[in-house]
Amino acid sequence: KVLIDVPRSDLAEELAQSQTKIQVLQDTLQQVLDRREEERQSRQLLELYLEALKKEDSILSKVAASETVPRKEVDVVDTGTSSTSISAKTALSDQILAILKEKPAPELCLDSQDLELVLKEDTQALALALRWDKQNVEALQQACDQELSKRLQQVQTLHSLRSTSKGKKTLP
């Protein structure tokens, strides 16, 4: 960095080289610094991606573990409305509805396909199924949309990194 910042004429005089050679040297040094910064940023992005994968895997394993635990059967008293009529209005599974009700940030606990299902779901039907008001359901759908967008951006960035790394030649 210091060699790049030194005035070309001073460096040329000190090294007894022409200013054009010093210009080439400084340009090469700047390219090396730029490449190192790109590599550092790529490593950080990949670390974040791997961390997100680990979190998603741990969440999925927790969900899978909770599914394997036998649930107590509960007797339901018929009140005139059956639970199937509410479920019939939504395309969401009972598992997704349970996650939406129980988790403080359910958008982080659902896979991308489930997030899409929540977004496509009618707000009123989802409000009935969750027994929430419309504002809470809209906020939930907005959080799901943001999480889905973030995941899409991460995937696009990863693809971009892959295509960029394929196009570069390896240095000797």
State whether 12 and 61 are in the same domain. Answer: yes
Asked if 109 and 66 count as a contact pair (C-beta separation under 8 A), the reply is no
Is 82 inside any structural domain? no
Cβ neighbours around 152 below 10 Å, total: 11
- Residue 158 belongs to a domain: yes
Work out the percent of the chain whose per-residue pLDDT is above 90. 23
In whole numbers, what is the pLDDT of the chain averaged over residues? 81
Q: What is the DSSP letter of 111?
A: -
More confident residue, 102 or 169: 102
Residue 76 lies in a domain: no
Domain extent at residue 23: 8-66
Same domain, 51 and 108: no
Question: Does residue 74 lie in a domain region?
Answer: no
> What are the structure tokens assigned to 111, written together?
């896979």
pTM of the model: 0.45
For the chain, percent of residues with pLDDT exceeding 70: 83
Q: How many domains, the chain? A: 2
Sign of CA dihedral 12, 16, 20, 25: negative
Confirm whether 89 is domain-assigned.
no
Instruction: Quick: pLDDT tens for 32-74.
Output: 999 999 999 999 999 998 888 888 878 877 777 766 655 554 4
Q: Which of 138, 147, 136 is nearest to 111 (CA)?
A: 147
